[in-house]
Structure 1
Amino acid sequence: MVTKALLVTALIVLQVTSVFSQNRVPVIRENVPLDSIRLSDPFILADKSTSMYYMPGTGGMLWKSKDLRNWTGPFIVARTDPDSWMGKSPMIWAAELHAYKDKYYYFATFTNREVKIDTVGENVIERRASHILVSDKAEGPYMPMKDPVYLPADKPTLDGTFWVDKDGKPYMVYCYEWLQNLNGTMEKIELKPDLSGSIGEGKLLFRASDSPWSREKSTGGPNKVTDGPFLFRTGTGRLGMIWTSWIDDVYTQGIVYSKGGTLDGPWEHEKEPITPPNFGHGMLFQTLTGKWLMSVHSHRNSNGRYIRNPHLFEVDFSGDKLIVGKPYLP
Structure 2
Amino acid sequence: MQLPDMPLHDPFVVADDRTRTYYLYTSNDPTVSGVDGVGTMVYRGHDLRDWTRPVVVFLTAEQNGIWAADGGWAPEVHQYGDRYYLFTTLHDQDKPLPVPPADQWGTPFQIANHMRGTITAVSDSLLGPFTVVDPSRPTPPANLMTLDGTLHVDESGQPWMVYAHEWLQTIDGTMEAIRLAPDLSGTIGDPVFLFKASDAPWLGEQIPGGVPHQLAPYITDGPQLYRTPDGSLLMLWSTYEKNVAGEDGSISGGYVQTYAVSKSGAVEGPWQQRRPLVREDSGHGMLFHTFDGHLMMILHRPFENARGKLYEMEFHGDELRVLRRRADLDGGG
Q: When the two structures are superposed, what TM-score results if normalisation uses the length of structure 2?
A: 0.82
| Structure 1 unaligned residues grouped into runs of 5+ | 1-31, 301-305
How far residue 34 of structure 1 moved from its aligned partner, in angstroms, is 1.3
Q: Measure how far apart 1:318 and its partner are.
A: 6.0
Paired amino acid for 1:178: W
Could you report, residue by residue, the CA deviation over 1:226-274 in whole angstroms, capped at 9, with x for unpaired residues? Answer: 001111122111111111101122111111111322011111112x211
Q: Deviations over 1:125-180 (max 9, x none)?
A: 12110121111011111111257432222211101111111222011100110101
User: How do residues 56-95 of structure 1 correspond to structure 2 at under 5 angstroms?
Assistant: 56-58=25-27, 59-80=39-60, 81-86=63-68, 89-95=69-75
Greater Cα offset, 257-266 or 210-219 = 210-219
Instruction: Specify the code of the residue in structure 1 equivalent to 2:117.
Output: A
The question of 1:43 aligning with 2:12 is answered yes
Cα separation, 2, equivalents of 1:318 and 1:192? 34
How far the C-alpha of 1:60 sits from its partner, in A, is 1.7
CA shift digits 1:196-219 (9 cap, x unpaired): 211111110001111112239674
Post-superposition offset of 1:82 = 4.3
What CA deviation, in whole Å up to 9, does each residue of 1:26-48 have, x standing for no partner?
A: xxxxxx11132122111111112
Number of residue pairs aligned between Structure 1 and Structure 2: 291
Residue correspondence of structure 1 range 118-137 to structure 2 within 5 A? 118-120=98-100, 121-137=109-125
Deviations 1:3-49 (A, max 9, x none): xxxxxxxxxxxxxxxxxxxxxxxxxxxxx111321221111111122
Matched AA of 2:52:
T
Q: Which amino acid aligns with 2:261?
A: Y
Q: 1:144 and 2:138 equivalent? A: no
* CA RMSD across the alignment: 2.0
The amino acid of 1:132's aligned partner reads: T
Instruction: Give the percent of matched residue pairs that are identical in Structure 1 and Structure 2.
Output: 38
What is the deviation of 1:220? Answer: 5.3
Are 1:151 and 1:157, in contact at CA under 8 Å, matched by a contact in 2? yes
Q: How does 1:1-330 map to 2 (within 5 A)?
A: 32-58=1-27, 59-80=39-60, 81-86=63-68, 89-120=69-100, 121-146=109-134, 148-149=136-137, 150-215=139-204, 219=212, 223-248=217-242, 249-270=253-274, 272-299=275-302, 306-317=304-315, 319-328=317-326, 329-330=328-329
Distance across 1 between alignment mates of 2:44 and 2:117: 26
- Report the equivalent of 1:16: none
Q: What residue in structure 2 maps to residue 303 of structure 1? A: none
TM, length-normalised to structure 1: 0.83
